[in-house]
Structure 1
Amino acid sequence: MLALIYISGACLQGAIACGEGFCPSGLICVVEKDDAPACVVPTSVNTCGNSIVDDGEDCDDGNREGGDGCGSDCVHCGDGVLAKDEICDPGLPVTISCIAMNYDFGRPGCISSCDDLSAIPCGSWNWRRQERATLETLRGVWGSGPQDAFAVGDNGAITRYNGQDWQAMPSPTSKRLSGVWGSGPKDVFAVGTLGTILRYDGQDWRAMSSTTLTTLHGVWGSGPQDVFAVGTLGTILRYNGHDWQSMASPTSAEGLADVWGSGPRDVFAVGTNGTILRYNGDSWQAMTSTTSADLRGVWGSGPQDVFAVGDGGMVLHYDGQGWQAMASPTSEALSGVWGSGPQNVYAVGVEGTMLHYDGQSWQPMTLPTTFSAAEVPLSTEGVPLRGVWGSGPQDVFAVADQGNTLHYNGQDWQNMTLLTSSTSVEWLNGAWGSGPKDVFAVGANGTIQHYNDQGWQAMDSTTSALLRGVWGSGPKDVFAVGTNGTILRYNGEDWQAMSSTTLTLNSVWGSGPKDVFAVGDFGTILRYDGQDWQAMSSTTLTTLNGVWGSGPKDVFAVGDFGTILHYDGQDWQAMTSPPMEVPLSGVWGSGPKDVFAVGVNGTILHYDGQDWQAMSSTTLTTLNGVWGSGPKDVFAVGEFGQLLHYDGVSWLKLNSTTDRILFAVWGAGKSSFVVGEGGAIYRHTRTVLPR
């Protein structure tokens, strides 16, 4: 910072000396280290916008406008311009990937001082174990946001997550704590054995008078002055902002394990022998639950969408009319349930079970395998999970025995790599599906694999040709192309050969079952009209490697030497591309004015409806395939396991967890599939798609 020196010299008719002259009365002399003395109004000293770099300022250009090289507060940090002494600026997107910070995906943030990157926006694939703050069993978890969560457990254990790590908190009790809920970060309740109720006020945890000695298992509230707690012997307590009072319960024989509500006049409690109670604002009433299994957890997205889980893998759903059992993929006891919405719900179990509901079905999730043998009870297959909670679909916590906590960032990356029945591994070159539960992958020696949500199964292709591309108009109409002019068609029952050229075909795409294009060596372009394949004039002899279109009158083909062709419904015309002349291997677009092409040396080109422009890909590795769900959600894959993602701002590297060559990517809904060398198949699943 430049120091300012104030000089008040000898008076000369009311003036003060300033350098070789004087300042008139009412002004003062300001001298900067490297500049000549200046006379200024006293009130403008240490004021941003006075054209003088005062103490605490990085710059001062005579105004308080940002974005012109000097920020509105006369500091560079936050002005949207990266200064030479800044690592980053909050006004600019960070262009490196979170991989550089040992995460799997994401774009780092910039801390407020502009001198370091923030890992808060970064994420890891799948569920990840976090560093422990206690060795006690944790039974309940709740938070006020992604950087503020509380977990409670045995022997009064209370831990808190600050966005970076879990830390133990001083606890006023040694009793086992089973449930936790709060109205905000400075108002949190925890309940446990012998009627224990604690409250956190932002400073300390303090015991509250609960009027009962029965064990309390669950707690939930609609606000700081309306909190419910439930426990053994049908105990129900309610806090009104002043004290806890017992409520009349329809049962005294059944224990209540959890409580949740959509509001103060709509609260559910569940417990032993299938007990389900509902509070309507006046009284608690028993509901028909359709099960006798002990229920351990309850959560809902609203009064007509409530889930309850319990022993034997039991999952019940309430739709506003009645409770119905849901198909469950496990018979193990489930101990907790939480969701961010009706199509994103999680359930955890005491055998280390983690289930996810996507609005269609419940599916098991992959958990980390890094638990040591000493932490896994011999009678179970995994560390028992006791509770689950999240701040949103990309921020979910689960708590477990031995103080373990797991965290989920909303994205799964699953290795589905296959071995064929002959134990040899065939390379897979193309992928396409009619949906996330109906996917085809094709490759060497006529390999065709089909995925139907139960697993991958080999199909009889009737050929030994190298298959390079696959596309279909629906689940019962799929085309595959390959060497020696091979074209196969699947009708929902079997694959049949179609007559065509003898030249190798590399890619196939169509606008419908009676309008399909295939491209290949020596500029070959074929078109299928529902009856026959016919050769088209392509205006080139260059090998074409990829084809895609937005419709029958807007089709793009790319190939060697940077070749890009466009079909407008009448004929094919060469397009002007950046002067790279590198082989292009794949093409995809979200529409006629948003098309991407990828190729050798990390080449990525983008067409905006007017021109093709080169994009910065952050890699020199050859890219083989490209696909996206929209203009701000595009993936590219290539050699050495290269996996890139474009979010509408820039391309960022993702961790593919492999060094294998990746040839193609395709997806639908919230799932995408990547295939490649050695039969490699990876599935990427996200709980939410980018907006």
Structure 2
Amino acid sequence: MSSTADLSRRSFFGRLAGRLDPSAPDTAHWHQVPEVSGGDGDVFWTGWSGQGEVFLAGDNGRMVHLSVRADHASEGWTTMELPVATPIHGIWGRSPEDLHAVGWMGSILHYDGQSWSRVQGAVIDHERQQYQASPDNTPLFAIDGQDNGEAWAVGDEGRILHFDGLQWRPESSGVFDNLRAVACTNDGTVYAAGLGGCVLQRTAEGQWQSVDCPHQCGFQAALPLAADELLLAGGRYFVGKGGFRGELVHYANGQFRVLHADLDMPRLRALKHYKGGILIVADHGHLYYLKDSKITRLACDSQHDLMDVITLPSDEAIIVGDFGTVMTATSGFVRALAEDARSHNANASRWQIMSSPNQHQLWCVWQDSQGTTWAGGEAGTVLRLGGNRWQALPTIPNGLAVHCLWGCDGAGLFAGGQQGRIYRFDGQSWQLHFDLHLDLTILAMWGASPECIYAVGDEGLILHFDGLRWQRVTSGTQSALYDIWAYDAEHLLVVGDFGLVLRYNGKDWKSFNANSEQFLYGVWGHALDDIWVVGLSGTATHFDGSRWAAVPTRLRDDLMAIDGLPNGELIAVGTRGCAAILRDGQWQAEITPVPVGLRDVCVGRDGAVYAVGDQGTIVLRSSTGA
């Protein structure tokens, strides 16, 4: 996890843009969804969402379903018939026509888009009219799977089941601890966790091995951050407190570390990626948002125990829990589902998801003059694309977030980011190249040569490297500067808050009014008389050599980055997987296969487009097609 909170590029939380956004995690108020609830004794344990549909499940085999069409039409929440009356604790699947649910008495159910059927578990001894005492009836509490259709379910007494795409088979865990969480990483690694601090990892050969955890926390949830990095949540009972105390544990590089040990939290139940951070639910209606190692308690109308987070493709979420609790922080709940359904039913996208080595938020993507593509992000992440595979480089020292990359032959690769530091990669390791000795984040970088590099960032920061040393340049502003574009070494533009544009003429920096009050996050141009800036709420403004003019995009999403295609068109990306192309003077939305925020975009020499963003997301737009 990143150790320093920062006012980072394309990050709204804690800044004015975030405070103006009613859906920002630290601003939004969580409230009950009025259309669905349970009885006083009911518990909703879990759920699943995708392609315009939501499934919520809980005690007594209760499951409710909501389907919203692209035109916003819906029959409302309906109760589904299940073949068992046991509590359902976990749901996983790749589509609404192929879902798997697990629960009490070893219940495993499958949904084919029409009805639920029992696969195994919940076996009854008809003579005694009770459940049989057999391994198949061992309670299951969690399920997770991979894109290839494989899945794992875990439960009491170290029970682990593996689904190979056709049938479920038990796997030996080597432990008898009660398991409560299972999590699959992007690279195929599988983890399980449970009570007594039990943590297991599945080897490439399919064997489960114990990971020695010094903390005896009863883990209830596990969230992968990378192939060898986890966030674990749960709690322990303390007699002195008369109840459970929540604990959050970070695992990386073979080491466990308790986070926020000073906070008096109740038992933590679930955690999921949410709006660039992590949403955590707990007992007694406690709800937390974790980002950049800072944890914030969120406003919530419930005092009941909260059991799970169901993330929606729109980047919103549903929270479920005791006493029929079903909560959301968005007022456009049905609209969000409708947009997801419309997106799913639309023509196939030219964008495709690329496998990422980790799930750290990625802030930047850049291609060098030799055609090598690089990406950087949280926890010192730097990735390099080799062929069609992204590979992780050694991390930046101290795990500082990387927000920008630049390099050239003879200079090496430079990485800028948190704490005003710039590191240089010599092909083997990272070395500190410059330290501002201020807690400012470097957000963008551009260079003409090894003797002329510029970097910009928080609080009006502008740095220049002349081949010998970095020097701070007077900018005349305290605004954050998010992006930089240059025609050459004597003609540069940077953009920032409230429509700020600064122009460099070879001698000094001067304000360049863009005729906008919106936050501007990206800038790119074909020439000095053909420059575009993009930003908050779909803002797009064009400079034709004499004046700036706003051009409608018909987008509600924030545009975070922009780059130019070889054919003269432009591509921009933003929040909620938004992408738009400028064609014949008009912006046209494009469908991407991801719902999360895209933070940067890069057009390669061959016309391929790479975009990166939240949860380690990397998407590719091919250079062929319409």
TM range (shorter): 0.3 to 0.5
Specify which structure has the bigger relative contact order, considering alpha-carbon pairs within 8 angstroms and separated by 6 or more residues: 2
TM-score (norm. length: structure 2): 0.48
TM-score (norm. length: structure 1): 0.44
- Is the radius of gyration larger for structure 1 or structure 2? 1
